[in-house]
Structure 1
Amino acid sequence: MTDGVVLYPSGWYYNACVMGFMEVLEYGLGEDRVRHFYQKDGTIQLPPQVVETIYSTPQEKPAADICAEAESPLANLKRLAWWWVEKSKPARIDTHDAETIIIETCKSLLGSNKTFYPGLFAHNTQGSRIEFLNNWFSLNCDHVLQGNMTYHCSFCGAKYSPDFSGRDYDSFFSNTISKFMGTSLGSFPNAFWGKVPDLVFCKTCRAILLFFHISYKAGMFINAHSFQQMEHLNRIMDNQQDFNSKYYYKNHFLIKLLHRTEQMKQTLGAWQRQGLALVLFSNTGVEEIYLPVEVTGVLFHPSVAGWLRKLHGKEDKELLLFLARGEYARLLGAIYQSVRLLVQSEQVMTEYQPCAHLIHLYQAINCQINKGRRQTMQIDAVMNLKSGDYPEFLTDQGAKLRLLEMVRLGQRQDIQYFLIRAYVAEKKSVPETISQALNLENINEFKSVMFAFIAGLPNKPKTSEEKGNVK
């Protein structure tokens, strides 16, 4: 009787391979049934009868509790191998011949140095692809502890007896198994001391490592400490019904993550947000963005996420990388650029302007960090001053640009002198909100409020001569 299989969370790469493996199982066994394999302790447990079914051929074991349409059409091909082919086959294939589909799928994923698993089964390799797949998708129980040597798998830690009589990459993790994470076995320099590979894997993990491309095609992967949690989070992210996909920038997945804020908040407690990481896949490589629990607590808050979802430009999305690392002060540079553009274009400040979104975003983040509302109220006040609350001198474009540069440089005393002089010259009293802003101790908060003040200033009315020149 075949034993059951228990999978434990590990590094993000192995976890992504496991989640790809589970997606393939959903194709063959059904989504509802596979969900029962996820355990509350974070592991995945495959019952013995399921393991026996998926790792056997139709002629070895009759179909039992699998989707009828997912049965292997070839009596000598393991079911898991066929499901892997079905979930991996190129879209260009328009034939229903099983052997042709297998050949084309192996060519596209394993056939050359440019494929996903470089040269694992090269085009000119002699031998049957069916035999190769059946051998690759095997279990440790086929030969466990039958040899004189025993090793611990570098991925799952299981004790097994390896077979080193075949190719090196049949037993060792290399760039043939992963073009992103592996290293070359036959060239120097590489990641192995003396060019001797040391990352061994058991047959169970070797099979699972061939499912990475299934997770890769989504463009991203959320890594966590629990497979059950990973399954839920990545399924939420996979639903794109309310996501505007016209922005295909690298960081659009962070925006996509924020579109699921309410679902994330309902799913994750504070302790469950620990260790979350967003892994982004692209043609240039892989980037892992670790999300500290303090950052997710801020960014997942509805008041913050609401403003984040309003970001549309490519430059705005670049800010998300800094926000994900907790570098909130980076927002001030973006606010400065947006306010400067507003002043130079002589546009009227509205709630739909990018600078308004960024200013409110910065203050919403400050509220969550400081757990107070005072700064947000102050921002609204300085952005909506009445006509009698500011000197006419400050409506001039040159004056606004000069004040803007002083704010950028943090010249607090010069700013105080500049504003007080402008108010006194026109015999106006400085509004209470401006006085409070000038007395802020934190320089970044001071800058954000002053940027809001400048953005809210109206433009100087054009003279009849200037209007004529414009025409």
Structure 2
Amino acid sequence: MEVQQALDVTNHTITLYPSNWLYNAGVIGLLRILEELGDRVEEFIADDGTTKISTTKNVDEIFENWDKLSPKSKKNNSLVYGWKDAYYANQKEKSIKKRISAFLQQKENGRKVKKTASTFSCIFCTKRVKIKKTDARFLNQAFGNILLGSEKSFSNMYWNHSAKDFVCSRCEYVLMCHHLGLTRLQDGSEIFINAPSFKLMFNLNRFARGIFGVSSLKEGRDKREILAMSVIEYATKIQTTLGIWTGMNIEIVSKRGDKIEFFNLPYEVIQLLVDRRIASLLSQIGEFSILNLVLNQDFTRLMELGYLLLRIGLKPENERGKSDRAFVANYLKIKWNSKHTQHVAQLIFELYAAIEEKTKKNIYL
């Protein structure tokens, strides 16, 4: 099967194709920078999964906003560049601006390459580049000192005791934006929702950042719940369907220190969550206990819960026992819901019916 290159430059437009999660997070981070600068990045993101960047912003503008959006210490010093142990190790303003310039460059420079130069294939965009080995850049701590190794400090991380994963000049700056594609949660971890489409990734990560970001009032949630809620937000708020992309892998990448974990949802569950009727009902109910029954595909329990809540709701308030109140408190955390159990039960019945209709008809797109 032919591999689509992750980058193409034509007619002053830089076309980027989805690659692995680290590169994809870099593209989303780059789009955040350009959006902050006033570019209408939604117009860059195509329905075919690619993003076509056409910006008039210069190196200084992009660097300033990259720096502005990046985390700072209590003394307002950058945590990502400018010193030996920064996230992008040993990187200075000059080296970062050089990478930005290479990314924006419309044509490769015209320097002649000696016949003795080697040909390398970029690990991210697969572009083949003929270059002197001493000028080649490889995947190391310059692109993230927590995720990647150092040839001197962690030489056994690479085969033959040397970094061998070549990164072309156009992909270098994209990688140095990946920290801006991550969403920091209240528990200190960082997440990125990875998918086969930049349009999908841009919107899902925007929803996750808005709902569950560290500045959010939302309590910390399970990674699976965050992914589900982001998909529900997409299905209910974006006036377009997810189409063929729901048949492919959508996952959350979770980073805590140097530990990376991956979480995803079964294909069948994703198909339910992207159904607008089902997504709308889950959003109206707003209870994670109900959401988790759907995520676990425990639909029998969902129906039982509806009947129990209805039975309790039909009782006068003064006839509800301690066990009734405890049951409601266990499943319904939203105050309004706990006082209107009959209404919640009705929504649960509608949800169950919608799920039954979806699964019986086997309608996925």
TM range (shorter): 0.5 to 0.7
- State the match for 2:324 in structure 1: 347
Kindly state the Cα deviation for residue 200 of structure 1 after the two structures are TM-superposed.
Answer: 0.5
Which amino acid in the other structure matches residue 298 of structure 1? L
User: Is 1:182 the counterpart of 2:182 in the alignment?
Assistant: no
Query: Distance between the aligned counterparts of 1:79 and 1:161, measured in 2?
Result: 31
- State the match for 1:197 in structure 2: 163
- State the match for 1:135 in structure 2: 98
Which amino acid in the other structure matches residue 287 of structure 1? E
The 8 Å contact of residues 274 and 292 in structure 1, kept in 2 or not, is answered as: no
- State the match for 1:86 in structure 2: 68
- State the match for 2:271 in structure 1: 297
User: Is 1:152 the counterpart of 2:121 in the alignment?
Assistant: yes
Cα deviations across residues 117-138 of structure 1 (Å, max 9, x unaligned)?
3x333xxxxxxx3433333334
Query: Distance between the aligned counterparts of 1:272 and 1:295, measured in 2?
Result: 14
Residues 19-418 of structure 1: matches in 2 within 5 Å? 19-28=28-37, 30-32=38-40, 34-47=41-54, 50=55, 54-55=58-59, 78-88=60-70, 90=72, 92=74, 104-105=77-78, 107-109=79-81, 111-113=83-85, 115-117=86-88, 119-121=89-91, 129-139=92-102, 141-142=108-109, 146-147=113-114, 148-165=117-134, 171-179=137-145, 181-186=147-152, 190-217=156-183, 219-240=190-211, 245-251=217-223, 253-254=226-227, 256-257=229-230, 260=233, 262-263=235-236, 266-284=239-257, 285-301=259-275, 302-303=277-278, 306-307=281-282, 310=285, 316=289, 320=292, 324=295, 327-329=296-298, 346-347=323-324, 354=331, 360=348, 363=352, 367-368=356-357, 370-371=359-360
CA 1:83–1:244: 2 relative to 1, 3 Å: closer
**DSSP-derived class of the 1:347 partner:** helix
Question: How many pairs are equivalent?
Answer: 311
Kindly state the Cα deviation for residue 281 of structure 1 after the two structures are TM-superposed.
Answer: 3.6
**DSSP-derived class of the 2:33 partner:** helix
Match of 1:11 among 4, 16, 20: 20
Kindly state the Cα deviation for residue 257 of structure 1 after the two structures are TM-superposed.
Answer: 1.9
The 8 Å contact of residues 151 and 159 in structure 1, kept in 2 or not, is answered as: yes
Kindly state the Cα deviation for residue 109 of structure 1 after the two structures are TM-superposed.
Answer: 4.1
The 8 Å contact of residues 6 and 45 in structure 1, kept in 2 or not, is answered as: yes
Query: Distance between the aligned counterparts of 2:69 and 2:169, measured in 1?
Result: 21
Query: Distance between the aligned counterparts of 2:47 and 2:282, measured in 1?
Result: 34
Cα deviations across residues 325-378 of structure 1 (Å, max 9, x unaligned)?
xx4249969x89xx9xx9x95336887761887995895686256439xxxxxx
Kindly state the Cα deviation for residue 277 of structure 1 after the two structures are TM-superposed.
Answer: 1.6
CA 1:172–1:346: 2 relative to 1, 3 Å: same
The 8 Å contact of residues 120 and 177 in structure 1, kept in 2 or not, is answered as: no
CA 1:91–1:36: 2 relative to 1, 3 Å: farther
Query: Distance between the aligned counterparts of 1:294 and 1:153, measured in 2?
Result: 35
TM-score, normalised by the number of residues in structure 2: 0.66
TM-score, normalised by the number of residues in structure 1: 0.53
Query: Distance between the aligned counterparts of 1:297 and 1:35, measured in 2?
Result: 25
- State the match for 2:335 in structure 1: none
Higher relative contact order (CA 8 A, sep 6+): 2
- State the match for 1:72 in structure 2: none
- Alignment RMSD (CA, Å): 4.4
The 8 Å contact of residues 258 and 308 in structure 1, kept in 2 or not, is answered as: no
**DSSP-derived class of the 1:155 partner:** coil
Which amino acid in the other structure matches residue 39 of structure 2? E
The 8 Å contact of residues 277 and 288 in structure 1, kept in 2 or not, is answered as: no
Residues 430-445 of structure 1: matches in 2 within 5 Å? none
Kindly state the Cα deviation for residue 304 of structure 1 after the two structures are TM-superposed.
Answer: 6.3
Query: Distance between the aligned counterparts of 2:112 and 2:197, measured in 1?
Result: 30
More strand by share: 2
Fraction of identical pairs, as percent: 19
Query: Distance between the aligned counterparts of 1:131 and 1:350, measured in 2?
Result: 61
Structure of higher CA gyration radius: 1
**DSSP-derived class of the 1:171 partner:** coil
Which amino acid in the other structure matches residue 203 of structure 1? S
Contiguous gaps of at least 5 residues in structure 2: 1-9, 185-189, 313-320, 333-340
Query: Distance between the aligned counterparts of 2:133 and 2:123, measured in 1?
Result: 15
**DSSP-derived class of the 2:118 partner:** coil
